[in-house]
Structure 1
Amino acid sequence: MRKVLITGMSGTGKSTVLDVLAKRGHRVVDTDTDEWSEWVTLPDGSTDWVWRADAMKDLLDQPGNLFVAGCKSNQVDFYDKFDHIVLLSAPAEVLLARIAQRTDNPYGKKPDERAEILSYLAEVEPLLREGATVQIDASQPLQVVADRVEQLIS
Protein backbone atom coordinates (compact mmCIF):
# COMPACT_ATOMS: atom_id res chain seq x y z
CA MET A 1 0.00 0.00 0.00
CA ARG A 2 1.85 3.03 -1.27
CA LYS A 3 0.94 6.70 -1.38
CA VAL A 4 2.57 8.91 -4.01
CA LEU A 5 2.35 12.69 -4.22
CA ILE A 6 2.83 14.16 -7.69
CA THR A 7 3.76 17.82 -7.41
CA GLY A 8 5.19 20.56 -9.59
CA MET A 9 4.45 23.87 -11.18
CA SER A 10 1.42 24.63 -13.34
CA GLY A 11 1.80 23.00 -16.74
CA THR A 12 4.05 20.13 -15.67
CA GLY A 13 1.27 17.62 -16.33
CA LYS A 14 0.18 16.57 -12.85
CA SER A 15 -3.50 16.23 -13.80
CA THR A 16 -2.68 14.65 -17.14
CA VAL A 17 -0.50 12.00 -15.49
CA LEU A 18 -3.31 11.32 -13.01
CA ASP A 19 -5.72 10.80 -15.92
CA VAL A 20 -3.38 8.19 -17.44
CA LEU A 21 -2.96 6.42 -14.09
CA ALA A 22 -6.74 6.39 -13.53
CA LYS A 23 -7.27 4.84 -16.97
CA ARG A 24 -4.78 2.16 -15.93
CA GLY A 25 -7.02 1.35 -12.97
CA HIS A 26 -5.23 3.21 -10.19
CA ARG A 27 -6.90 5.25 -7.47
CA VAL A 28 -6.10 8.93 -7.99
CA VAL A 29 -7.03 12.25 -6.38
CA ASP A 30 -6.44 15.69 -7.86
CA THR A 31 -6.46 18.02 -4.86
CA ASP A 32 -7.16 21.18 -6.83
CA THR A 33 -10.85 21.19 -5.86
CA ASP A 34 -12.95 22.51 -2.99
CA GLU A 35 -13.24 18.97 -1.64
CA TRP A 36 -9.52 18.85 -0.83
CA SER A 37 -8.42 22.49 -0.73
CA GLU A 38 -9.62 25.79 0.65
CA TRP A 39 -8.75 29.47 0.59
CA VAL A 40 -7.27 30.82 3.83
CA THR A 41 -6.32 34.35 4.79
CA LEU A 42 -2.72 34.73 5.91
CA PRO A 43 -1.55 37.09 8.66
CA ASP A 44 -0.43 39.66 6.06
CA GLY A 45 -3.94 39.72 4.56
CA SER A 46 -3.07 37.76 1.43
CA THR A 47 -4.84 34.50 0.60
CA ASP A 48 -3.51 31.02 -0.07
CA TRP A 49 -5.13 27.90 -1.59
CA VAL A 50 -4.12 25.11 0.83
CA TRP A 51 -5.04 21.53 1.54
CA ARG A 52 -7.91 20.95 3.96
CA ALA A 53 -6.00 19.24 6.78
CA ASP A 54 -8.90 17.04 7.96
CA ALA A 55 -9.82 15.87 4.46
CA MET A 56 -6.21 15.10 3.52
CA LYS A 57 -5.57 13.24 6.77
CA ASP A 58 -8.66 11.09 6.21
CA LEU A 59 -7.66 10.44 2.60
CA LEU A 60 -4.08 9.49 3.41
CA ASP A 61 -5.11 7.25 6.31
CA GLN A 62 -7.19 5.04 4.00
CA PRO A 63 -5.62 1.71 2.98
CA GLY A 64 -4.53 0.99 -0.57
CA ASN A 65 -2.34 2.49 -3.24
CA LEU A 66 -3.04 6.11 -4.06
CA PHE A 67 -1.67 8.77 -6.38
CA VAL A 68 -2.33 12.36 -5.25
CA ALA A 69 -1.57 15.46 -7.32
CA GLY A 70 -1.18 18.96 -6.01
CA CYS A 71 1.07 21.86 -5.23
CA LYS A 72 0.08 23.59 -2.03
CA SER A 73 2.08 25.57 0.51
CA ASN A 74 1.05 23.22 3.33
CA GLN A 75 1.73 19.94 1.52
CA VAL A 76 4.98 19.58 3.43
CA ASP A 77 2.88 18.98 6.55
CA PHE A 78 1.80 15.66 4.96
CA TYR A 79 5.09 14.45 3.50
CA ASP A 80 5.44 11.79 6.20
CA LYS A 81 2.19 10.20 4.93
CA PHE A 82 3.68 9.63 1.45
CA ASP A 83 6.07 6.91 0.32
CA HIS A 84 7.25 9.13 -2.53
CA ILE A 85 7.07 12.82 -3.37
CA VAL A 86 7.48 13.13 -7.12
CA LEU A 87 8.51 16.46 -8.58
CA LEU A 88 7.52 16.89 -12.21
CA SER A 89 9.68 19.58 -13.77
CA ALA A 90 10.03 21.11 -17.23
CA PRO A 91 11.61 24.22 -18.75
CA ALA A 92 9.62 27.46 -18.59
CA GLU A 93 8.93 27.51 -22.32
CA VAL A 94 7.37 24.02 -22.13
CA LEU A 95 5.17 25.01 -19.18
CA LEU A 96 3.97 28.23 -20.81
CA ALA A 97 3.24 26.47 -24.12
CA ARG A 98 1.19 23.77 -22.37
CA ILE A 99 -0.71 26.32 -20.32
CA ALA A 100 -1.50 28.34 -23.45
CA GLN A 101 -2.92 25.21 -25.13
CA ARG A 102 -4.95 23.72 -22.28
CA THR A 103 -8.70 24.16 -22.33
CA ASP A 104 -9.67 22.67 -18.96
CA ASN A 105 -8.05 25.29 -16.73
CA PRO A 106 -8.09 29.06 -17.32
CA TYR A 107 -5.12 29.78 -15.03
CA GLY A 108 -2.07 31.09 -16.83
CA LYS A 109 -3.81 32.73 -19.76
CA LYS A 110 -3.36 36.31 -18.54
CA PRO A 111 0.02 38.10 -18.64
CA ASP A 112 0.10 38.63 -14.86
CA GLU A 113 -0.61 34.92 -14.28
CA ARG A 114 2.15 33.92 -16.70
CA ALA A 115 4.54 36.20 -14.80
CA GLU A 116 3.38 34.60 -11.55
CA ILE A 117 4.09 31.13 -12.97
CA LEU A 118 7.63 32.16 -13.91
CA SER A 119 8.11 33.62 -10.44
CA TYR A 120 6.90 30.37 -8.85
CA LEU A 121 9.23 28.40 -11.11
CA ALA A 122 12.17 30.40 -9.78
CA GLU A 123 11.10 30.57 -6.13
CA VAL A 124 8.85 27.59 -5.34
CA GLU A 125 10.22 24.80 -7.51
CA PRO A 126 13.58 24.77 -5.67
CA LEU A 127 11.67 24.26 -2.41
CA LEU A 128 9.72 21.39 -3.95
CA ARG A 129 12.97 19.88 -5.20
CA GLU A 130 14.33 19.82 -1.63
CA GLY A 131 11.41 17.68 -0.45
CA ALA A 132 11.17 15.43 -3.49
CA THR A 133 12.21 11.79 -3.32
CA VAL A 134 11.98 11.46 -7.12
CA GLN A 135 12.40 14.03 -9.88
CA ILE A 136 11.03 13.42 -13.37
CA ASP A 137 11.59 15.47 -16.50
CA ALA A 138 8.01 16.22 -17.50
CA SER A 139 9.02 17.32 -20.98
CA GLN A 140 9.36 13.62 -21.87
CA PRO A 141 6.44 11.87 -23.60
CA LEU A 142 3.41 11.48 -21.32
CA GLN A 143 3.50 7.67 -21.34
CA VAL A 144 7.15 7.70 -20.24
CA VAL A 145 6.35 10.04 -17.33
CA ALA A 146 3.28 8.00 -16.31
CA ASP A 147 5.26 4.74 -16.51
CA ARG A 148 7.96 6.16 -14.24
CA VAL A 149 5.40 7.35 -11.67
CA GLU A 150 3.47 4.06 -11.83
CA GLN A 151 6.66 2.09 -11.10
CA LEU A 152 6.83 3.71 -7.67
CA ILE A 153 4.00 1.54 -6.31
CA SER A 154 5.45 -1.79 -7.42
Structure 2
Amino acid sequence: MPKVLITGMSGTGKSTTLQRLGARGHRTVDTDYDGWSHWVTLPDGTSDWVWREDAIAELLAGHTQGTLFVAGCKSNQWKFYPRFDHVVLLSAPVEVMRARISSRTGNDFGKSTSEWEQIVRDHAEIEPLLRESATVEIDTSMPLDEVVHTLEALGA
Protein backbone atom coordinates (compact mmCIF):
# COMPACT_ATOMS: atom_id res chain seq x y z
CA MET A 1 0.00 0.00 0.00
CA PRO A 2 1.46 3.37 -1.01
CA LYS A 3 2.90 5.72 1.59
CA VAL A 4 3.51 9.36 0.63
CA LEU A 5 5.37 11.93 2.71
CA ILE A 6 4.27 15.51 2.06
CA THR A 7 6.92 17.96 3.24
CA GLY A 8 7.76 21.64 2.77
CA MET A 9 8.15 24.96 4.50
CA SER A 10 5.45 26.70 6.54
CA GLY A 11 2.85 28.26 4.28
CA THR A 12 3.28 25.89 1.35
CA GLY A 13 -0.09 24.24 2.01
CA LYS A 14 0.73 20.96 3.77
CA SER A 15 -2.14 21.15 6.27
CA THR A 16 -4.70 22.40 3.76
CA THR A 17 -3.72 19.72 1.26
CA LEU A 18 -3.87 17.03 3.93
CA GLN A 19 -7.35 18.19 5.01
CA ARG A 20 -8.59 17.97 1.41
CA LEU A 21 -7.08 14.49 0.96
CA GLY A 22 -8.75 13.38 4.19
CA ALA A 23 -12.09 14.79 3.05
CA ARG A 24 -11.71 12.70 -0.11
CA GLY A 25 -11.42 9.54 2.00
CA HIS A 26 -7.67 9.07 2.20
CA ARG A 27 -5.84 8.16 5.39
CA THR A 28 -3.87 11.21 6.51
CA VAL A 29 -1.54 12.00 9.40
CA ASP A 30 -0.34 15.49 10.31
CA THR A 31 2.85 15.02 12.33
CA ASP A 32 2.81 18.53 13.81
CA TYR A 33 1.04 17.25 16.90
CA ASP A 34 2.27 15.77 20.19
CA GLY A 35 1.37 12.19 19.35
CA TRP A 36 3.75 12.23 16.41
CA SER A 37 6.41 14.78 17.38
CA HIS A 38 8.13 16.04 20.51
CA TRP A 39 10.77 18.52 21.65
CA VAL A 40 14.33 17.30 22.15
CA THR A 41 17.40 19.12 23.41
CA LEU A 42 20.30 18.99 20.97
CA PRO A 43 23.95 18.67 22.00
CA ASP A 44 24.46 22.43 21.53
CA GLY A 45 21.63 23.15 24.01
CA THR A 46 19.06 24.25 21.42
CA SER A 47 15.69 22.54 21.03
CA ASP A 48 14.21 20.80 18.01
CA TRP A 49 10.67 19.55 17.29
CA VAL A 50 11.27 16.08 15.83
CA TRP A 51 9.30 12.99 14.93
CA ARG A 52 8.67 10.41 17.63
CA GLU A 53 10.52 7.74 15.72
CA ASP A 54 8.77 4.82 17.40
CA ALA A 55 5.34 6.24 16.55
CA ILE A 56 6.27 6.94 12.91
CA ALA A 57 7.84 3.48 12.52
CA GLU A 58 4.68 1.86 13.91
CA LEU A 59 2.46 3.96 11.64
CA LEU A 60 4.37 3.00 8.51
CA ALA A 61 4.72 -0.68 9.45
CA GLY A 62 1.02 -0.95 10.27
CA HIS A 63 -0.28 0.65 7.08
CA THR A 64 -2.07 -2.04 5.07
CA GLN A 65 -4.91 -0.43 3.12
CA GLY A 66 -5.22 2.44 0.63
CA THR A 67 -2.77 5.31 0.33
CA LEU A 68 -1.32 6.88 3.45
CA PHE A 69 -0.44 10.58 3.24
CA VAL A 70 1.85 11.83 6.03
CA ALA A 71 2.66 15.54 6.33
CA GLY A 72 5.50 17.15 8.20
CA CYS A 73 8.87 18.82 8.03
CA LYS A 74 11.18 17.57 10.75
CA SER A 75 14.96 17.30 10.94
CA ASN A 76 14.82 13.52 11.49
CA GLN A 77 12.31 12.65 8.76
CA TRP A 78 15.12 11.60 6.40
CA LYS A 79 15.54 8.43 8.47
CA PHE A 80 12.18 7.25 7.12
CA TYR A 81 12.57 8.17 3.44
CA PRO A 82 13.25 4.54 2.43
CA ARG A 83 9.89 3.53 3.93
CA PHE A 84 7.93 5.98 1.75
CA ASP A 85 7.02 5.36 -1.88
CA HIS A 86 7.24 9.10 -2.54
CA VAL A 87 8.69 12.09 -0.74
CA VAL A 88 6.79 15.09 -2.10
CA LEU A 89 8.07 18.62 -1.62
CA LEU A 90 5.33 21.23 -1.64
CA SER A 91 6.83 24.56 -2.63
CA ALA A 92 5.53 28.06 -3.23
CA PRO A 93 6.97 31.51 -3.86
CA VAL A 94 7.77 33.42 -0.66
CA GLU A 95 5.03 35.98 -1.42
CA VAL A 96 2.42 33.21 -1.58
CA MET A 97 3.69 31.69 1.67
CA ARG A 98 3.53 35.11 3.38
CA ALA A 99 -0.06 35.71 2.25
CA ARG A 100 -1.16 32.26 3.45
CA ILE A 101 0.54 32.56 6.82
CA SER A 102 -0.86 36.03 7.51
CA SER A 103 -4.42 34.97 6.66
CA ARG A 104 -4.55 31.51 8.23
CA THR A 105 -6.42 30.77 11.43
CA GLY A 106 -5.71 28.04 13.93
CA ASN A 107 -1.93 28.28 13.53
CA ASP A 108 -0.15 31.49 14.50
CA PHE A 109 3.34 30.26 13.60
CA GLY A 110 5.03 32.68 11.24
CA LYS A 111 2.98 35.73 12.14
CA SER A 112 5.63 37.33 14.35
CA THR A 113 8.54 39.11 12.70
CA SER A 114 11.13 36.71 14.14
CA GLU A 115 9.17 33.62 13.05
CA TRP A 116 8.66 35.03 9.55
CA GLU A 117 12.38 35.76 9.28
CA GLN A 118 13.08 32.14 10.29
CA ILE A 119 10.71 30.88 7.59
CA VAL A 120 12.51 33.00 4.98
CA ARG A 121 15.89 31.61 6.16
CA ASP A 122 14.51 28.06 6.07
CA HIS A 123 13.16 28.67 2.57
CA ALA A 124 16.66 29.63 1.44
CA GLU A 125 18.60 27.00 3.42
CA ILE A 126 16.35 24.01 4.15
CA GLU A 127 14.07 23.86 1.11
CA PRO A 128 17.00 23.15 -1.29
CA LEU A 129 17.97 20.18 0.91
CA LEU A 130 14.39 18.89 0.83
CA ARG A 131 14.35 19.34 -2.95
CA GLU A 132 17.45 17.14 -3.32
CA SER A 133 15.80 14.22 -1.55
CA ALA A 134 12.26 14.65 -2.91
CA THR A 135 10.94 12.27 -5.54
CA VAL A 136 8.37 14.85 -6.67
CA GLU A 137 7.98 18.62 -6.27
CA ILE A 138 4.62 20.36 -6.53
CA ASP A 139 4.31 24.14 -6.79
CA THR A 140 1.28 24.86 -4.63
CA SER A 141 0.57 28.23 -6.20
CA MET A 142 -1.63 26.18 -8.56
CA PRO A 143 -5.24 25.48 -7.51
CA LEU A 144 -5.64 23.15 -4.53
CA ASP A 145 -7.64 20.60 -6.54
CA GLU A 146 -4.70 20.23 -8.94
CA VAL A 147 -2.29 19.69 -6.05
CA VAL A 148 -4.59 17.04 -4.58
CA HIS A 149 -5.09 15.32 -7.96
CA THR A 150 -1.31 15.16 -8.47
CA LEU A 151 -0.87 13.58 -5.03
CA GLU A 152 -3.70 11.09 -5.59
CA ALA A 153 -2.06 9.99 -8.84
CA LEU A 154 1.08 9.08 -6.89
CA GLY A 155 -0.94 6.69 -4.74
CA ALA A 156 -2.68 5.02 -7.66
- Same fold, judged at TM 0.5 (above): yes
Partner of 2:76: 74
Structure 1 position 18, deviation (Å):
0.6
Partner of 1:13: 13
Please tell me the residue identity of whatever aligns with 1:24. R
Partner of 2:49: 49
Distance between the aligned counterparts of 1:85 and 1:36, measured in 2?
A: 18
The correspondence for 2:126, drawn from 119, 124, 137, is 124
TM-score, normalised via structure 1 length: 0.99
Distance between the aligned counterparts of 1:67 and 1:122, measured in 2?
A: 26
Give 3-state SS (helix, strand or coil) of 1:32's partner: coil
Q: List aligned pairs for 1:1-154, cutoff 5 A.
A: 1-62=1-62, 63-64=64-65, 65-154=67-156
Q: Deviations over 1:48-103 (max 9, x none)?
A: 00000100000000122200000000000000110000000001011011000001
Distance between the aligned counterparts of 1:25 and 1:103, measured in 2?
A: 24
Work out the number of aligned pairs and report it. 154
Distance between the aligned counterparts of 1:106 and 1:90, measured in 2?
A: 19
Structure 1 position 104, deviation (Å):
1.3
Distance between the aligned counterparts of 2:126 and 2:55, measured in 1?
A: 24
Percent identity (aligned):
62
Distance between the aligned counterparts of 2:15 and 2:116, measured in 1?
A: 19
**Regions of 4+ moved over 2 Å:** none
Segment drifting more, 44-53 vs 59-68: 59-68
Give 5+ residue unaligned stretches, structure 2: none
Give 5+ residue unaligned stretches, structure 1: none
Distance between the aligned counterparts of 1:14 and 1:149, measured in 2?
A: 12
RMSD between aligned alpha carbons? 0.5
TM-score, normalised via structure 2 length: 0.98
